[in-house]
Amino acid sequence: MLVMLKIYKKDFLNKNQIYFQNCKFGDDWIFSIKTLLKADKIYYLDDSCYLYRIRKKSLSHHKSVITFDTFLVIKKVEEFLKSENLYVPLQEQFNLYRQNLLAYTRKYIPNYLLPIFDALVIFLFSYKTYKAIKSQNSILENIFSITNSKDKNIKLL
């Protein structure tokens, strides 16, 4: 759900009041979900037009306290789905999204904060969710895993 891989019409964003949220981690997730669910049509270009550079110190790939913003992202996505009357029909998909996002984020929580993160997951969601995220690779991790890639031409910079 990488925002930088998409092109948006400005009038579409303004008309639907889609803006980046005030999150340091994960605001592109909220933006992407809103645009995908509000769009009447989506065009797909089957061509590589973007070079994804992974920097060790980037917010997306660095253990940091700001990854706790994930809880805010989940709340904002849930609020959006409810405001659009989409929560009930998409509840199963939302629960899977939430679980995958938490599993991905958990990998970037500093070790000394893992007990707090895990306690929040149990408190806000469930023990079942905690067990699931603790034992799984996230979808994003599978997508970006070089070891899972069949394309051996991928290079990390």
**Residue where the block lists tokens 């660095």:** 62
| Residue 47, SS3 per DSSP | coil
Kindly report, residue by residue over 67-119, the tens digit of the pLDDT: 788 898 899 899 999 999 999 999 999 999 899 889 988 888 888 989 999 99
Residue 40 has pLDDT above 70, yes or no: yes
Predicted local confidence at residue 36, as pLDDT:
84
Contact yes or no for 136/145 (Cβ under 8 A)? no
Most confident listed range (28-32, 48-52, 59-63, 89-93): 89-93
Residue type, 138: S
Tokens of 46: 């089957």
Which residue blocks in 2-154 are alpha helix, DSSP H? 10-15, 27-38, 69-83, 91-106, 114-124, 127-135, 139-144
Contact yes or no for 65/113 (Cβ under 8 A)? yes
Predicted local confidence at residue 8, as pLDDT:
83
The overall longest dimension of the chain from CA atoms, in Å, is 45
- Round to whole Å and give the CA distance between 61 and 83: 32
Contact yes or no for 71/102 (Cβ under 8 A)? no
Q: How many CA atoms lie within 13 A of 47 on its CB side?
A: 3
